[in-house]
Amino acid sequence: NPKATIGYAISLTSCGGDDDALTDGGAVLKHSIHLSSVHNPNSKSKYSYKMYAIVHPAAESCSKKLAALGYTILLKDTPVQVKDIQAKDLRENVEKNGCCGEKEFIKLWAYTLTEHPVVVHLDLDTLILQPLDDLFDAMLDKDNSGLLKDRTVMFGKQLPPSDEIDAYFTRDYNMAKPTKKHKLVQGGFLILRPSQASFEEFQNIITTDKYFKGSGWGGAGFTGYGAMTFQGIIPYYYDILHPNTGVELNRCWYNAMVDNPRDKPTTDGEHAVGDCRDGREDCEDCRNEPLENVNTVHFTLCQKPWNCLPQDQDRIQHRLCRKFHHKWFEVRDDLENGWAKKAPTSDLTVRDGQLQRDHFFGFCNYRGEKGYIHMVVPPSGM
């Protein structure tokens, strides 16, 4: 029997026409979670999973694709109506902030999934490479001392007691100057302890006059891209309102994006120069991280796998991105091999792509998004 069932959620704010992100991204993400769960004996994980899609009404029409993949659809409007926001600057500007405006707040509905002890909220362009059991155990076991590896927590900080850990996240240092005191979180990765009380507290924070022009949530300096919504309110909640309950993870291992740790371009293709974005004198370069250390990948700077980019230049940025893309196609290949055992060949993808077949597994004809061979989901779904 599984130790517990973890809720995994993604959010859908609009139907932008990117079918690959919905169908292919959703299917591969789910299968990567499956491979890192108790349902795959080779993973040695103790945890089961259940998939959710938190869907804004504006995206209801395209959410059926996720339902066909086995996601439970939760149709949710924003937790707070914009007209009810008291802070003038937030009320007048939130709809055009970040990628998705006020709709980004629908991610907060993940806190209401209280039938699960832990919920993981991810973006669709994410891949799980290894079980997250050590993080779950550290939240749920009474004695979590010694559970996590030395470099799991950012800056080598100590892990709080298990009953005090309410969230794990990574910071988005790419969006801040090295001298900035309060850094935003990266919005595509949050592991949280569900709580109806926490959800209602978020509603109250957004509604009441807690946002200040120029200095953000609580006047604490949470500003920048997406700061009005999820990427700013989450660090405000865990850094200021509930300190020592949120744990910043090492971004080389979790939510890895292959980002430059310093604030100047890597002109020679190998060595980072400039000041460390995280404020330290010296900082590790995640672009050199061995693949076997990485737990989750977020395809932002590396671009989406379905863009069929070989990333085969011998440069620090491309080497790890290529490995990440290869793993994504490997998971897709494993998924479709499983379908092939149950479905007629006529219902499956024809893998006749000629671009670097050993790398793309026959799913790319040529470079670029138009060269990608779209996934064909069998009528029986997943």
Residues forming beta bridges with residue 293, ordered by sequence position? none
Is 307 in contact with 336 (CB distance < 8 Å)?
no
What is the pTM assigned to this prediction? 0.95
Three-point CA angle 236, 241, 245, nearest 5°: 90
pLDDT in tens, 85-105: 999 999 999 988 878 889 999
pLDDT in tens, 114-156: 999 999 999 999 999 999 999 999 999 877 666 666 778 898 8
Q: Round to whole Å and give the CA distance between 79 and 221.
A: 24
240: how many CB neighbours lie within 10 A of its CB?
Answer: 14
> DSSP of 97-139, one letter per residue?
STTTGGGGGGGGGGGG-TTSS-EEEE-TTEEE-S--HHHHHHH
Is pLDDT larger for residue 147 or for residue 304? 304
Any idea which residue has 């139907």 for tokens? 15
Long-range contacts of 211-217 (CB under 8 A, 24+ apart): 211/85, 211/87, 211/89, 211/90, 212/87, 212/89, 213/88, 213/89
Sort strands 47-55 and 216-217 into parallel, antiparallel or unpaired.
unpaired
Q: Round to whole Å and give the CA distance between 79 and 94.
A: 14
Structure tokens at 247: 């744990």
Q: What is the DSSP letter of 191?
A: E
Is 54 in contact with 107 (CB distance < 8 Å)?
yes
H or E element, residue 135: helix 133-140
For the chain, give the percent of residues with pLDDT over 90: 75
84: how many CB neighbours lie within 10 A of its CB?
Answer: 11
Q: Round to whole Å and give the CA distance between 40 and 291.
A: 21
pLDDT score recorded for residue 149:
65
pLDDT score recorded for residue 177:
73
> Tell me, what amino acid is at 132?
L
Q: Is the dihedral of CA 26, 113, 201, 242 positive or negative?
A: negative
Res. 9: pLDDT tops 80 = yes
215: how many CB neighbours lie within 10 A of its CB?
Answer: 13
Judged by phi (left if over 0) then psi (alpha if -120 to 50, else beta), residue 334 lies in alpha
pLDDT in tens, 252-282: 999 999 999 999 999 888 888 999 999 899 9
Least confident of 197-206, 276-285, 354-363: 276-285
pLDDT tier for residue 350 given thresholds of 50, 70 and 90: confident
Closest CA to 127 of 11, 260, 289, 255: 255
pLDDT tier for residue 382 given thresholds of 50, 70 and 90: low
Is 157 in contact with 262 (CB distance < 8 Å)?
no
Count of residues making up the chain: 382
Res. 290: pLDDT tops 70 = yes
Q: Round to whole Å and give the CA distance between 77 and 50.
A: 22
Backbone torsions φ then ψ of 274, nearest 5 degrees:
100, -170
Structure tokens at 270: 């190998």
Is 160 in contact with 244 (CB distance < 8 Å)?
yes
pLDDT tier for residue 6 given thresholds of 50, 70 and 90: very high
Is 204 in contact with 241 (CB distance < 8 Å)?
no
